Structure 1
């Protein structure tokens, strides 16, 4: 039987053919091959050349990491008990191999030989940077550890991977298993028709009479925004706010996992000679110290909090005056915020949503990419994917050359992790005369199409899609021929959000919105009057949204900038202290936000959540270059091809071949400024706390 996970690197993966039984044999074989390649490359008798040491390592390593990326992707988008078991059986093996490689003194010495060789200074700068980053990463992977410390580090790395995976599984299972059957239709008053219909369909699938609500975002968010039934909103808020905590099933409680992760991370940092996990992580970031990050966040909080307080005061006054609500509870905030938006700007999100059909939005996105970067995204039906709703695209340049492949999976479903993300199956790489093209996955969780009608997206969904497309373009439009300095491998984490947040800006441009919109029934584009209302409301409650992100980022840094771990009570106390400092909304004491904070405890954002705000400064300032170009030419839109080409050349195409600060400087001609971020967020004028609370 042919194992699809062992397909040659220069062929595309047949996802339909992959079965759980393929996973462990493929991983075992590829680890064995990669281990042999490491041992061969570590031979000191080899000449100190790229071709003798790095090329064979990249080839063997990439086969393993491609297969493991495919397995991880499937585990996230079509999770089944059999697939999960196969993934978990292989996770310790993959973790052990990765740790073993990072600790391999002989291989480390070979990279030192490469850097010290007489020819090194004449190498291309890209290859020099690969070696320099590899030497740094060896140091951060514990290559200098010996004896008992070395064994301890290997055990830590293995357990960290397993505990993070279990955290993720608990969140997925807690979301998948929670449902609420509504038998009285009057309780659904106010909820958009398509959401109610989807709830009815879910109930029918389970042979139940009524409407089945879930905690997946296409259901949860509309209920919180539109359900007139206050008790119903409170029920869903509490369920979501206590996911994977002691308030649910004991086997899904993430409390002990959070404690263990923090202890393991602190121990790892100490072993490697750092004061805490934050200091360890910041060795590979633009920001240098936790203090620098905290100062940046507190400065932003100082500017934003008066606006946040004003937002909340206005909402409280509105709820009291219009609805006689004297005590605004957290589950009331989305509901009355949407009522205030409707009253102030005379539109609702549900009204706008009818104009953003998924096929038209995708078509409009493709047009933006083509205008800015002269790249066409076209269907590639010959690639067989993991689900009928997933689709494959190829990116083609103006000369007709294929640049890479984009695998898109847009809809929420059972067994699929929530959220939106981009991952990479295969990097661009040049091997002799052969150019290996990147394969990138883009995943979202939008409402699926139903009753023969296309899926309709909220404007926030559209922004999410553009955000993830920015990540995808970072990999697809790369001109980097060495995987070691590809975007996802080496761009500093606090700059990785630059392309994604940059792309969000175009969702607010009138010509782009016209191209993105076609009413689900009439096909008409969004009317200018409705667009003007949407634009006027762009910064609606932006103060509250900003301080919420700062709250998450400060909490993240606070729990990781410590020499020791914390128990769950200390974690929750730390979160409360951060909220007292920067938040304007304090959730109930039973709320368990950390237990569902997968970015920190099951993703790559530990001691790095600040990256969203840090990179937002970069992205806002980068987009300001397009605004300035449009203004200089008297254009009505910011789709400026010349500036787009410069952004492609200096940011997207170069990946991690140079520090992100240098790439930004090359594009903008100067260091980034905070001004554009504050202006885009409507916070560019002074607003005192006194004024805010007046």
Structure 2
């Protein structure tokens, strides 16, 4: 039987994939890449060397992509083959990054007289390639060269181990009860989900888990303070040495080794810290500029955050009988205050945001802005019954596609993300279309059998989840709407990491526009539009505790950047101390003694955000400023939408991010719109990013 990972149709054959197919396919494809490189070096130029190598590596990427994806959304039998393949793929890319013959080809091309006349995408691919060779240790000699390669391989293993520990710790803890009184305050949707979770485990009553929808429902709505405390302590201590599963999935030593190796990688390249190494490929000019940006924003946001928290404490004392606001009280008390002040809650909005209606509204917004249509294709094989496939079309022609896996389930990685299936590129047989994965963890539909109390309900989203869906689709559009045909700078490839959040955060803005909200909302039973009174309250509450949210994000960003600014690694105790110090400077809310946020901080220890979490705030300046042009011209102004499409989405990584932004906005980015949108515009900053 042929191996579907070697046949490589545009869309993976998920109905045929087996874990046993991974190792032989990856080994063969890596061998093909090495053979192609050797052949290409015989007569080096773009057509003989780089183009055929891109073809071979694209086949490797498209085979590894579904393996990596299945490990994230199903785990189980895919973990072991994924980790073995990851080791081989990492070894190949590390070897390639240190190949001096190939580096010499890039230099030769860049220095050739005709280089200036090349297409922009090719020139940028060569320019970024040279940078990446240098950051991959191509100039190292002897032991240093071997050490850098070994560190790269080990870092890939450790990142996977970190993510596994977080997932296993999340799945390991549950709380079972048959006493309905314990769950007082939980909305019907959360009770139905807890009932379904119990039934799936052959238990009576209800089961609370640490999956996002369950955890958030308890922390926001459970009147039972002891239950909130129990769930909070379990969640914040995941994958650490403390808490109910303390030591079982502990990431302490994993973090220590990751930081040690990252610091060593930077030192081998002659840099002061991993933060310096990280920023070398970003939009920010240097590490000082990043810290200046974060500290400046923190200094001005913290006074507003302190006022917001003081209001919350006073409300909790006067109205809720809480003399001391504990960490597990804060979301619950904040929800009570929000209802008191605005008479609105996320749960009250849920019935008006059924998932299918929101999805149709998202597609309608994107069609009005960019002239593309999403069409479901249920004939495409997927990995789970929840996952669906859609084509993106323009004028009836397919230009891209995406898989959408929207609902939380056991053994699926938490959070939300976009990843690539295939990249737009020109091949000998024609244009390869870009295909994406879009993954979220919303509350799933509840069948009548699974939840007798609810009688069967569709998936109903909070407005926060609506913005998450728009955010991930913004990433997807950046990948899918590219017009670039060179893989290294097509879609999100080659885009500076601190600018990659621009399209995602940009698209979130339509979740707050009444004209757009009307397109994505309607009562799930009656179809009745979101009442004007509820809409007004939702918009009025938009910036509720926005300064508290801002300093929370700055806490994460500063901790990450300062941690990676050390010129050595850090022990688990030093990591905790640094986080404590950052919290003293910028945080306004208390933390539980066993809070080990860092042990689950997958963005920086298992994702691409090491010394880069600041990117969310940096790009938020860009996205708010970009949207301000729509505020001037009209939120569905087609000319402005086309301008964003042509200047940002279609260009991918083919030009510098700042140049593309300036092309769209007609000037460098300004902070003003972000401050206005977040309700803290009076806290004018002295400087603007990049």
TM over 0.5: yes
CA contact (8 A) 2:675 2:684 kept: no
2:444 to 432, 441, 448: 448
In 2, Cα distance between equivalents of 1:8 and 1:119 = 35
Report how far residue 686 of structure 1 moved: 5.0
Matched, 1:112 2:100: no
Give 3-state SS (helix, strand or coil) of 1:487's partner.
coil
The 8 Å contact of residues 346 and 462 in structure 2, kept in 1 or not, is answered as: yes
Secondary structure at the counterpart of residue 119 of structure 1: helix
Q: Is the 8 A contact 2:263 2:566 kept in 1?
A: yes
Aligned mates of 1:205, 1:376 — CA distance in 2: 38
Task: Please tell me whether the aligned partners of residues 672 and 684 of structure 2 are also in contact (alpha carbons under 8 angstroms).
Answer: no
User: Structure 1 686/164 Cα, relative in aligned 2: closer, same or farther at 3 Å?
Assistant: closer
Q: Are 1:281 and 2:285 matched, yes or no?
A: no
Of 95-104 and 583-592, more deviation after overlay is shown by 583-592
Match of 1:666 among 658, 663, 666: 663
Determine if contact 1:76/1:416 at 8 Å carries over to the other structure.
yes
| Matching residue within 173, 176, 185 for 2:171 | 176
How much does 1:197 deviate?
Answer: 1.5
Q: Does 1:208 align with 2:203?
A: yes
Hey, what's the Cα distance between the residues in 2 that align with 1:181 and 1:211?
6
C-alpha separation in 1, matches of 2:684 and 2:180:
45
Relative to structure 1, the CA distance from residue 90 to residue 670 in structure 2 (aligned partners, 3 Å threshold; closer, same or farther) is: same
Contact 1:409–1:442 (8 Å) recurs in 2: yes
Instruction: Spell out the pairing of 1:626-645 with structure 2 (5 A cutoff).
Output: 626-630=630-634, 638-645=635-642
SS in 2 for 1:563: coil
RMSD, matched Cα: 1.3
Please state how far the C-alpha of 1:609 moved relative to its aligned partner. Answer: 0.2
SS class of match (2:469): helix
- What is the Cα deviation at residue 108 of structure 1? 0.8
* Alignment equivalent of 2:367, drawn from 370, 379, 386: 370
Pairwise mapping of residues 121-520 of structure 1 onto structure 2 (< 5 A)?
Answer: 121-247=116-242, 248-397=245-394, 399-432=395-428, 434-451=430-447, 452-520=456-524
State the shift of 1:568 in Å. 0.7
State TM-score, norm by structure 2: 0.96
Give the SS at the match of 1:91: helix
Tell whether the 8 Å contact from 2:305 to 2:548 is kept in structure 1 after alignment: yes
User: Residue 559 of structure 1 corresponds to which residue in structure 2?
Assistant: 563
* Contact 1:515–1:525 (Cα < 8 Å) also in 2: no
Q: Name the structure 2 match of 1:16.
A: 15
Q: How does 1:504-653 map to 2 (within 5 A)?
A: 504-630=508-634, 638-653=635-650
Following TM superposition, the consecutive aligned residue runs of length 4 or more in structure 1 with deviations greater than 6 angstroms are none
Q: Please give the alpha-carbon distance, in whole angstroms, between the structure 2 residues aligned to 1:536 and 1:69.
A: 43
Give distance in 2, aligned partners of 1:576 and 1:8. 49
* Counterpart selection for 2:72 from 65, 73, 76: 76
Whole-Å separation in 2 of the counterparts to 1:143 and 1:586: 46
Q: Distance in 2 between matches of 1:54 and 1:508?
A: 45
Counterpart of 1:681 in structure 2 is 678
TM-score normalized by the length of structure 1 = 0.96
* 1:648-686: CA deviation from partner (whole Å, max 9, x where unpaired): 000000001110000000000000100000000000125
Q: CA deviation at 1:180?
A: 0.4
- Report the CA distance between 1:128 and its aligned residue: 1.1
Is 2:93 the counterpart of 1:98? yes
1:42 Cα deviation from its structure 2 partner: 2.6
Shift of 1:432: 4.7
> 1:453 deviation in Å?
2.7
Correspondence for 1:38: 37
Task: Flag structure 2 segments of 5+ consecutive residues without an equivalent.
Answer: 448-455, 686-690
Shift of 1:110: 1.2
How far apart are residue 8 of structure 1 and its match? Answer: 3.5
In structure 2, the residue matched to 1:53 is 49
Residue 468 of structure 2: SS of its match in structure 1? helix
1:363-402 deviation per Cα after TM superposition (whole angstroms, max 9, x unaligned): 00000000000000111222211111100000001x2221
1:66 aligns to 2:50 (yes or no): no
Q: Kindly provide the CA deviation profile for residues 325-374 of structure 1, in whole angstroms up to 9, marking residues without a partner as x.
A: 11000100000100111111112210101110000000000000000000
1:2 matched to 2:6? The reply is no
In the superposition, relative to structure 1, how do residues 642 and 186 fare at CA in structure 2: closer, same or farther (>3 Å)? same
Residue 117 of structure 1, CA deviation: 2.5
Counterpart residue number, 2:453: none
Deviations 1:588-646 (A, max 9, x none): 2321000000001000000000000000000000000000112xxxxxxx122110000
Q: How many residues align?
A: 675
**1: CA distance, partners of 2:288 / 2:109:** 36
The answer (yes or no) to whether the contact 2:186–2:217 under 8 Å persists in 1 is: yes
1 CA distance for matches of 2:331 and 2:182?
Answer: 17
- Confirm or deny: 8 A CA contact 2:675 2:683 kept in the other structure: no
Segments of structure 1 that go 5 or more residues without pairing to the other structure are 631-637, 689-694
Question: Tell me, what secondary structure is at the counterpart of 2:113?
Answer: coil
Which deviates more from structure 2 when the two are superposed, residues 29-38 or residues 590-599? Answer: 29-38
The Cα of 1:88 is off from its aligned counterpart by: 1.5
Structure 1 residue 230: deviation in Å?
Answer: 0.3
Q: Is contact 1:453–1:520 with CA below 8 Å preserved after alignment?
A: no
Contact kept, 8 Å, 1:306 with 1:687, in 2: the verdict is no
1:146 deviates by 1.3
CA contact (8 A) 1:41 1:107 kept: no
In 1, are the aligned partners of 2:301 and 2:683 still within 8 Å (CA)?
no
Query: Is 596-605 or 283-292 further displaced after alignment?
Result: 283-292
